[in-house]
Amino acid sequence: MPELAGDAELTNLVDELLYLVEVGSGSVRADEAELGHLLDRLALAMRTLVVAAAPGAPQEIPARNREVLRKVAASRFPRFGSHAIPVRVPSDKPSARVASAIDDIAAIADHLHAVAWLWRNASFEQGVQYLDQSYRAHWGHPMRALQLYLHDVDVATSDAAARDAR
C-alpha cells in the first residue's frame, strides 16, 4: 500500500489544497480537476495516517470565518451545486441527505486551516491528532461524497464534450 513519504508530504498536501481553494489557477476546469486529485491524495493520506501522542496540552485554535471560505470556494468552483450524501452506517436516518459541494469544500478547508495553524503554533503531532479527529467526526464522510460528486461532474463534462464534438 502506498504511504506518504512523511511529514513534509502531508504538510505540502494540506498547503496545496488550501492554496487551490483560496487562490486557484485561474481556470475553473483546471481547479475542478486539481480538487479531485488533491481530495484523492488526502483520502489516501487519511487511510495511512499514523497518529502519535501529542506532547503538551491541546492548543485552542482561533476561530475562522467559514462564510468567507464559502464565498471564496463559490467563486473558485462556480459550476458546483448540491449532491447526495449517502446514509452513514449504522444510521437511524433511513435516507440520503442533500449537501452543498461549496459548503463541504469550505468545511474541509476550515478544518485544514486549523491543522496548519496547529503545525505552526503547537506541534506536528497536535495537528495530526486534530486532522484525524476532525476527519472522523466532521468532514471525512462529506469529503468522500464530494469525491463521488466530482467524479459525476467529470463524467458529465466529458460526455457533453463528446456530444459537442459529433
Q: What is the pLDDT of residue 148?
A: 94
Q: What is the pLDDT of residue 94?
A: 64
Q: What DSSP state is assigned to residue 87?
A: P
- CA neighbor of 111 nearest in space, from 44, 29, 26, 46: 46
**86-135 pLDDT tens trace:** 776 766 666 778 899 999 999 999 999 999 999 999 999 999 999 999 99
pLDDT category of residue 160 using cuts at 50, 70 and 90? confident
Amino acid at residue number 90:
P
Topology (CATH level 3) of domain 7-165: Four Helix Bundle (Hemerythrin (Met), subunit A) (1.20.120)
24: left (phi over 0), alpha (psi -120 to 50) or beta: left
- CA neighbor of 131 nearest in space, from 104, 113, 158: 113
Q: What's the grid cell of residue 157? A: 463534462
**70-87 pLDDT tens trace:** 999 999 999 999 998 877
